Amino acid sequence: MNIKKLTATVVAGLTLATVTFSATGVSANSYTVKSGDSLWKIANEKNISIDELKSLNKLSSDVIQTNQTLQLSKTDATYTVKTGDSIWKIATKKQVTEQNLKSWNNLSTDIIFPGQVLKLTGSDVPVAQEAASKATEAAPQATTPKAEQTTPKVEKTAPTTPAAAPKAEQAAPKAAAPKVEASNNSASGRQITVQATAYDAVSLGGRTASGHLVTSTSEKVIAVDPSVIPLGSTVYIPGYGTAVARDTGGAIQGNIIDLNMSTAEAVQWGRQTVTVTVK
């Protein structure tokens, strides 16, 4: 009878708790805990010792939880940033959340640099904390639609008085200049809704995929996916201005663009959803 009680105690100690963790995805070198799993069962199936499994996942006890992702080797423990990478691209490729990736590497922004080594394991960011972080990141973007709404109003007034434009220009050339610029920025073209991020092209060497040399962070140059926006296109971006598509990037796939600006400005810009006009 005592032996049976001892066996039941050991099994109970190794049985996983039923608290649900948010899944972060798995790779070939990771395993997602299922109901009924224990460290002993997983270690036996994956031909790894319990001590090594605990060490890889920084576990201080044998308690694991449903949907928790466990690393099975050190292969995916780190990742070295390459040119064209972004937090979003790496998180998607390694099947982890952006918030976890930033938390594991003490990153307060999405800015990363080629050669930088990122950790791919650590404690998951709690769901409530991740939601609060996303809400905080989204807060500055709330003013963006208001700024964009003013542009169409200027566009509508320009066509209504085409005959008056020359007179206004002759009487006060300086006052007429903003109207001309507004009409240029909003000229008819193909409109696309994209995710806009930012990068410092000068710090990355300045040489773009089209061969153009960027010498200033104030130069209006953007990186695009040529299958969506052809290289050489003139693109108007609300909040940024009119730029030329001269660069590409490994992370720039589909409806994503990257804007050249200083690192400080890039931090403030973050990631925004904007509707651009391709001319």
Q: Model confidence over 208-227: pLDDT tens digits? A: 988 899 999 999 999 999 99
What CATH number corresponds to the domain at position 200?
Answer: 2.40.40.10
Do residues 123 and 101 touch, judged by C-beta distance below 8 A?
no
Number of domains present in the structure of the chain: 3
In a domain, 131, yes or no: no
In a domain, 82, yes or no: yes
Among the listed residues 85, 99, 274, the one whose alpha carbon sits nearest the alpha carbon of residue 196: 274
What CATH number corresponds to the domain at position 34?
Answer: 3.10.350.10
Per-residue pLDDT band at 30 (split at 50, 70, 90): confident
Together in a domain, 146 and 187: yes
Together in a domain, 91 and 148: no
What lies within 8 Å, CB to CB, of 219 at 6+ separation is: 201, 260
Query: pLDDT > 90: what percent of the chain?
Result: 42
Q: For residue 33, what are the domain limits?
A: 2-71
Together in a domain, 273 and 145: yes
Together in a domain, 67 and 146: no
Together in a domain, 33 and 52: yes
pLDDT score of 6: 45
Is pLDDT above 70 for 136? Answer: no
Per-residue DSSP letters for 160-187? H-TTHHHHHHHH-HHHHHHHHHHHHHT-
Among the listed residues 132, 129, 105, 19, the one whose alpha carbon sits nearest the alpha carbon of residue 68: 19
Together in a domain, 52 and 96: no
pLDDT score of 125: 65
Distance from C-alpha of 169 to C-alpha of 133, rounded to nearest angstrom: 49
Question: Quick one: 219 exposed, middle or buried, by C-beta within 10 A (0-12, 13-18, 19+)?
Answer: middle
pLDDT score of 204: 86
Together in a domain, 267 and 218: yes
In a domain, 236, yes or no: yes
